[in-house]
Amino acid sequence: MGTNIGTSVTNTLVAMTQAGNRSTFRRAFAGATVHDFFNWLSVLILLPLEVVSGYMYHLTKLIVDSFHIQSGDDAPDLLNVITDPLTNSIIQLDSDVISGIADPANRNKSLILKWCKTFTNTTLRNETVPGPDNCTSPSHCWCTTTFCYTLKNVSETYNIQKCKHLFVDTELSDLAVGLILLALSLLTLCTCLILIVKLLNSMLKGQVAIVIKKVINTDFPFPFGWVTGYIAILVGAGMTFIVQSSSVFTSAITPLVGIGVISIERAYPLSLGSNIGTTTTAILAAMAAPGDTLAKALQIALIHFVFNMSGIILWYPLPFTRLPIRLAKALGNITAEYRWFAGVYIISSFFILPLFVFGLSMAGWQVLVGVGVPILALLVSIIIVNVLQTHRPHWLPALLRSWDFLPFWAHSLEPWDQMFSVVTAKCCCCCKCCQAREVEVEKEVEKEVEKKVEKEKIEAGHQMDMYNNPAITNGSDIKKIKNNSSLAATKL
């Protein structure tokens, strides 16, 4: 459930790259956050249901128990065939250290693989042991008054060939290497996402955009119009299976929503399909697990699949249940008017809120329930009152028919917008002052140059000829004037 929420931040960041145009940003942010709202609403409903009933656990266990699957060590690599040469040239990890990380003896070992080719030689030889109990067998045990000897298979590993990745000879710690790779990967990700947006914006214009818009957003004739959405779900699942990443697929359609090629109503089922398609990665990985852990690995992968299918059943089949679309459009309107709110949404939804819930859970389930339930009940009450204010205000008491009884900052973003404007203005004040002073200095220079030119014209007595000739001043004079003006600005 957490991975579903976390993976939707990528297309939300892609929408931020279209903040330059208000209308484009409104559509793009709504198209990106429709995926967020689907995941959040699914978690809010299905997580308590799973805690109470455990239906996903029992259902997936029943499915796994009905299978008789052997270990799939030869599972297909798919895109790894393409990506492995590049990743192996950057970094390679020691799988033995990873698999034995729980062993205290491996905790101080480096994860970076140094030797890619080794040779292990096993020989049978005498070894000294503390006592007879440490012998391999009674028939292979000889003891003296001081020591005991036994026959043992001793393995020695010889390093043959070093690896050829970038960090093979580094003296940096694993933490430093990890931070460097994290920074590089984030930089590469952001660069690729920006390039995707720019490329799609440049390609899908004019007649191409019109044709694609008609093809993608057209429904089947009545009475089969309802089938179109489910076909879009299948298309989203298939495309995500091909690229093995829901983030890549949803990030690709977000700019298309922004420029109006794909409607939000069509992007919604495509995003739901990407949620289904991304579960195939976990299933393939589980099929390659060893036989002793295959059942549990496959069950975890199937839980991911069942969770996404349950969310689709909750929030798609009936039109009035497609609440994520309405919420995403409302958020798109807010962020188009107050663009700073998009950053607040990302930080609060993907960092502050998860850390807050995680902290409460670490304090114990009693604290989590005692603090979380009242906050959740308050939010639900506010949502219900907002809905009634819009559709059935006469059902509410006179006081609750509007939020005017609260302070203005508690029910409007306008004061917060003014505060952000003031903070932004103060942050940029120094830069603007410096720029304004530079402009002022340039104007003073131009005025002094013009005065000098006019003076020379009058003295020479041929004003007309000099008016038509722009090169009438000496460069050293201008330089001197600029230096004097710069000195005056520095003193100020």
- Provide the token pair at 322: 């497609």
**Per-residue confidence at 429, pLDDT binned at 50, 70, 90?**
low
The most confident of 40-54, 128-142, 163-177, 417-431, by mean pLDDT: 40-54
pLDDT digits (tens, 9 = 90+) for 44-94: 999 989 989 999 999 999 998 887 765 555 445 555 677 788 888 888 888
Q: Is the pLDDT of residue 306 over 50?
A: yes
Please give the average per-residue pLDDT across 171-177, as a whole number.
Answer: 88
Asked if the model's pLDDT at residue 38 lies above 90, the reply is: yes
| Start-to-end C-alpha separation, the chain | 60
pLDDT band at residue 147, thresholds of 50, 70 and 90? confident
Whole-number pLDDT of residue 474: 44
pLDDT in the model for residue 141: 78
What are the DSSP calls for 111-145, one per residue? SB--EEEEEEEEEEEEEEESSGGGSS-GGGEEE-S
Question: Which one-letter amino acid corresponds to residue 1?
Answer: M
- State mean pLDDT over 142-170: 79
Q: Is the pLDDT of residue 381 over 80?
A: yes
Comparison of pLDDT for 254 and 159, the residue scoring more: 254
Interstrand relation of 115-129 and 148-162 (parallel, antiparallel or unpaired): antiparallel
CB contact at 8 A, 161 and 113? no
Model confidence band, residue 444 (pLDDT cutoffs 50, 70, 90): low
Contact 97, 145 (CB under 8 A): no
Average pLDDT value for residue range 263-277:
91
**Tokens in use for 229?**
């959405």
CA distance linking residue 448 with residue 433, whole number of Å: 22
Least confident of 96-100, 289-293, 426-430, 469-473: 469-473
Q: Nearest 5°: phi and psi at 129?
A: -125, 160
pLDDT of residue 78: 53
Q: What percent of the chain has pLDDT over 90?
A: 21
pLDDT at 468: 40
Mean pLDDT for all residues in the chain = 79
More confident residue, 352 or 94: 352
Mean pLDDT across the stretch 388-403? 87
Q: Say which residue, 204 or 269, is predicted with more confidence.
A: 269
Query: Three-state DSSP class for 306?
Result: helix
Residue with tokens 């977000």: 254
- Segment 284-306 mean pLDDT: 83
pLDDT value of residue 316: 93
pLDDT score recorded for residue 142: 75
- Is a pLDDT exceeding 60 seen at residue 315? yes
Beta bridge partners of 141: 150
Residue 56's H or E segment, with its range, is helix 55-66
What is the reported pLDDT for 445?
Answer: 58
- pLDDT category at 490 given cuts 50, 70, 90 is very low
Distance (Å, whole) CA 277 – CA 273: 6
DSSP string, 350-418: IIIHHHHHHHHHHT-HHHHHHHHHHHHHHHHHHHHHHHHHHH-GGGS-GGGGSSTTS-HHHH-SHHHHH
Q: pLDDT tens digits, residue range 8-17?
A: 888 888 888 8
Give the number of other Cβ atoms within 10 Å of residue 451's Cβ. Answer: 11
- Check residue 131 and give its pLDDT: 73
d(CA 411, CA 396): 18
pLDDT score of 279 more than 70: yes
Query: To which residue do tokens 């089969």 refer?
Result: 224
pLDDT band (50, 70, 90) for residue 482: very low
For residue 290 the two structure tokens come to 């060893």
SS3 72: coil
